[in-house]
Chains A and B, each alone.
Chain A
């Protein structure tokens, strides 16, 4: 090709300067048209070179988006040539514009068909590809012949192209493709062709065609099933190394769907594929890992070994390759770490952030560090995180501080961490102080025993230096909660009240109201004037919630001050568990979609809407010969899509659609508006939602009438007061009010009858096995059981319950805590079987509730076991 001697005239295609071209494009295009016309009939020597230059120009215009479709006729005329480079450019052009010029496209059919019979296989292939890429529905009749011979061509390149051609034909006109019986030819080719790329293309095409057909044709759905039958899978697996790396991914994806008949088959497949884990292509490795994980799902021990085996290859992939590639791998590693933190807890150093990593990588790493933190590595991890807190990248610095907080909340021993958090407060950086305040607040809610140390430091922080609403609210909460320990709390609050009008955040004003109330109950003379001012300002507030709350406080104070105190400032219990933002069910479903975008987005696809969409499409195709069917063929993997109405609306009617997290998440929308971290999933909430509350929200924090979930608690208490019958449904919430309303303690729940499950009285399990199992097994059941008043009375020390449960063949492996919170780990074994049940039971004696989490080897019987457990527990203290 002629080197740089580009045409001297106006903008050369190689350096298009946008503006100029736009101005000149019209005249340029007509100029080109003229020149092409001149060359069309010419047979002069060197004419091909001139054509090449012109074609190049046309293509370059096409690329930058200038419409050169008006040249169609001339381009086709010029394409009568033997020059393959010219041909290729012409094919590219025709493919681009045939769709908008269906009439002109007919012109090309002739020469394309002729080229399909050329003696050069290269030209046959290229012509066939172009022919199938025209995407013009009324030309499909011309495709069938060339495709048929293409599939039988002696050259593998032509066959490869022809197979994809069949798929293209299917998308232009499904009925033509099916009527010509192409799918069965593809099936034959797939099982017999010597060229692996032909085989791979057949597989792709058939998967697409049969999936689309499956909804209307039983035969197609059988055929689709047949793809994952043993003979096909084995045939493909045995040749896997002959396939290109990309085709290997395709095969591996298919294998994921295959269900082996027994474990020896599973091991055979894994042995065969093991060296794929050493492949340099991350896509191959991840596809292999998915196969391994899927195959061993039901084999706990092997599944465990798989985790160990894939660790090193994953880490290698993360550190080789471009940042983008490592991000994709890291996201998968992240998923695995979140699923099985203990497997990775010794590799925590790999999750340290490097200063030059993009923030999306750092973010993932911080989450992983939080997840893998355990007794042995917490010190190192927290030390490392503290380094990031001074990071120049402020969002990451914030995340790091939050990570420290999360670790503190999940550890039993928080001694050292509290010190670090308090050091943050002394760093005198606004954002560090802000984040740390929020954390200290959460920490105090879980570990009230640290209040002395924390309050001393918090007391030194001037509220003037805290501007962020979240942090300010946290500080005010602490001022209210610990006003007896903080010398100047009433005065700080008072000055905050004085600046009421300057406070823009309603959240902060709400907190301020509550804090002043609490302070008032603890130090009345000093707070009285502030309280008056706060209530007056609150009632005059334009914000509805603030107004309502102020009014409510005002009225309840007038009604009875001691009632007000019980409502606003009841004795607190420590929060045992903060709500997790993502349900484990979603996590499981994302895990099922390993090696897909779901992992990166951390969202589930609406996978089952796909067949339905395709069904619609098939109908559309049948009803009208829509040339533009492609846009209906988008399987709706939409995560955030609001515009894509078509298929989604249909799917909505199905009634079982769940897009993204909204429908899957048990958390109602009101809750999402608040900071998730501030939400308490308290013991009673799940039960309560079932109760008579008609607003249907699950955001009640019954015993904490003042903290962050204030909206909820307010309405809760209000209704409890106004409607005493409600109190029975939320015994815990109304504990303080019970006496007042003369209801007495609610009756103990009816004792359920024990089911037909027999437990082994002499069950044995060593602690390490227990630990291992506890980590591996999913939670089968999680519920809350009421403990009888007698039980509460008997539970002065953990040992009392141990003996009792043992008499019901439920053995304790670990216990701890002191009044009012006790925590137990129990286990039991099925009689004459080695099937285990594991239980975590947290009993709170002041609320008379037990939080029970059950995990079981045999999930089917976990319900029976749960009933048994409940019945055993309910007898505690009575016998």
Chain B
């Protein structure tokens, strides 16, 4: 049960504010914003998603730079409220096509309509985009996605997430196409976020894949859909089985550690033929989340060397090698490396003929940044940097710098080899042939090489 819900802009303006129970004072949004902005408790600089000020519990999630906040005085399930906030953001996005400060401001009446139906007197009624359709009468004013402002100076390092297919579809579930008729289509995205930590000797310390099969359906009449996954897919329970399979992983079996499914998914024949059947509700939703720690080939190998080069000088060499096929191209690659605190200057030397690369030394936090527009599979890129120090380093340089971290997006590539073999739409008409988009993308979550 929540008391209030509101959305704040990055500057702390109220974009939407709804009080459901009148138990929390009106000034809560201001109290909340000040607390989050100047958070300084337990030596941390970032406010946790849940905190308590004077008996009021504040929950917040950040979505596209906006703060979605709920307040309550009771001891509720934090998971429920945070999940709800995330869901509200998703529902709003389903309706507006694009979720941004601008689109919210233009459509706040519609958003209020939604909020009234999603929550009544603090209790969740429904978060189904589908069900809500019959209650919502305002039409969205669609904001042009191309006009979206980049999100500040960090944009280059955030593009990865922004460009994620699935979120790239900016069509409202209720708005009509200019032509008047809706295009029948369905999007299925297999999004994998990978985390790898390489030791200083290049050995893989930890690796994990967190994957999602995301679906967004624009099919009329809610037909049933069958989604077939790899037949050799297995879901390991407990470490033992995983190891058993791993020995025979030469056969290419895909072994998930664990997974969970959306409400609408029926698993009747999953055990037999690895197919999921579902009647996709409107809007965007994850069909399945999965987690995998089975060994996989990391898409990039990172080599980093830092060594002294005379008095008050050092040289850094970073090599990045793409270990995926040459018909695949990774984009928006960013490599970062913290340098010793006493670094005053860094001059860079790119490989000859380098295009679409940029380098930077961030004086404030002593970080080296190397951005590459794209990397073609099989290629290797090198960056050399000459550092100047303000004091002599006593200790081992490798303890003062690093680790190297990397972000990237690789479209049409997935490391887990999990596949959607086919996507069957049950509709008894020969002329009915909607567009089916099945896409894969791999992204770096935490991709780190120690030095």
Q: A residues touching B (Cβ–Cβ < 8 Å)?
A: 1, 3-4, 14-16, 18, 55-56, 59-60, 63-65, 84-85, 88-89, 92, 96, 99, 122, 129, 135, 157, 160-161, 164, 167-168, 171, 197, 201, 204, 244-247, 249, 253, 277-283, 285-287, 308, 312-313, 315-317, 319-325, 327-329, 331-332, 346, 349, 352, 354-360, 363, 384, 387, 390, 392, 395, 426-428, 593, 595-601, 605, 607, 630-631, 633-644
Contact = CB atoms under 8 A, between A and B. Distances in A.
Interface in B238-276: 238-239, 257-263
Interface in B84-139: 84-86, 105-106, 108-109, 112-113, 116, 120-121, 123-128, 134-135, 137-139
Contacts of B290: 316
A644 B78 contact: no
B1 to A, nearest CB: 7
| Top 9 closest pairs, chain A to chain B, by CB | A354-B446, A312-B258, A283-B80, A324-B49, A320-B289, A246-B124, A641-B55, A319-B210, A634-B73
Majority SS at the chain B contact face: mixed
Nearest to B118: A246
B23 A631 contact: yes
Nearest to B49: A324
Given A92-B116, A354-B446, A324 B61 contact: yes
B286 A324 contact: no
A317 B1 CA distance: 22
A750 B63 CA distance: 69
Interface stretch (B12-20, B323-331, B345-353, B413-421): B12-20
Interface in B53-85: 54-55, 57, 60-63, 73-80, 82-85
A320 B286 contact: yes
B150 interface: no
Nearest to A135: B22
A525 to B, nearest CB: 36
Given A328-B50, A354-B446, A428 B395 contact: yes
Contact of B123 (A60, A164, A636): A164
Contact of A597 (B16, B75, B121, B259): B75
B208 interface: yes
Contacts of B394: 428
B405 interface: yes
B363 interface: no
Interface stretch (B38-46, B225-233, B305-313, B374-382): B38-46
16 contacts: A63-B108, A129-B116, A157-B135, A164-B123, A246-B84, A278-B261, A279-B263, A286-B79, A315-B291, A316-B260, A319-B210, A320-B289, A324-B60, A328-B79, A359-B46, A637-B73
A327 B49 contact: yes
Nearest to B47: A360
A522 to B, nearest CB: 33
B277 interface: no
A603 to B, nearest CB: 9
Nearest to B110: A1
Contacts of A280: 260-263, 286, 288-289
B365 interface: yes
Given A279-B263, A285-B260, A324-B61, A427 B109 contact: no
B420 to A, nearest CB: 18
A63 B291 contact: no
B116 A356 contact: no
Interface of B: 1, 13-17, 19, 21-23, 42-46, 48-50, 52, 54-55, 57, 60-63, 73-80, 82-86, 105-106, 108-109, 112-113, 116, 120-121, 123-128, 134-135, 137-139, 141, 195, 197, 205-206, 208, 210, 212, 237-239, 257-263, 286, 288-291, 338, 365, 394-395, 399-400, 403, 405, 445-446, 448, 450
Contacts of B21: 171, 630
A643 B1 CA distance: 23
A635 B1 CA distance: 12
A279 B260 contact: yes
Nearest to B134: A122
A96 B22 CA distance: 10
A40 B198 CA distance: 71
A555 B197 CA distance: 61
Nearest to A320: B289
Contacts of B446: 354-357
B77 A286 contact: yes
B60 A635 contact: no
Contacts of B450: 387
B83 A283 contact: yes
A320 B126 contact: no
Nearest to B30: A65
A364 to B, nearest CB: 10
Nearest to A278: B260
Contacts of B128: 244
A245 B14 CA distance: 29
A637 B75 contact: yes
Contact of A129 (B14, B43, B57, B120): B120
A171 B46 CA distance: 37
B123 A64 contact: no
Given A164-B123, A204-B1, A325 B22 contact: no
A537 B286 CA distance: 70
A430 B134 CA distance: 63
Contacts of A640: 52, 54
B206 to A, nearest CB: 5
Contact of B257 (A245, A315, A352): A315
Contact of B109 (A89, A201, A204, A605): A89
A572 to B, nearest CB: 33
Contacts of B135: 122, 157
A157 B135 CA distance: 10
B22 A197 contact: no
A183 to B, nearest CB: 16
A635 B139 contact: no
Given A286-B79, A287-B80, A637-B57, 5 more contacts: A245-B127, A322-B61, A325-B83, A390-B400, A426-B395
Given A355-B446, A596-B77, A597-B76, A282 B83 contact: yes
Given A313-B258, A596-B76, A349 B206 contact: yes
Contacts of B76: 596-597
B261 A279 contact: yes
A493 to B, nearest CB: 26
B441 to A, nearest CB: 16
B57 A597 contact: yes
A129 B119 CA distance: 12
A816 B76 CA distance: 48
A283 B77 contact: yes
B167 to A, nearest CB: 13
Contacts of B113: 88
A360 B78 CA distance: 15
Given A88-B137, A331-B78, A281 B106 contact: no
B134 to A, nearest CB: 8
A89 to B, nearest CB: 6
B338 A392 contact: yes
Contacts of B195: 354
A330 to B, nearest CB: 11
Contact of A245 (B22, B60, B120, B263): B263
B291 A605 contact: no
A56 B109 contact: yes
B206 A352 contact: yes
A355 B403 contact: yes
Contact of B82 (A15, A324, A635): A324
Nearest to B398: A390
Nearest to B61: A324
Contacts of B22: 99, 135, 630-631
B82 A359 contact: no
A18 B30 CA distance: 15
Contact of A313 (B52, B75, B79, B260): B260
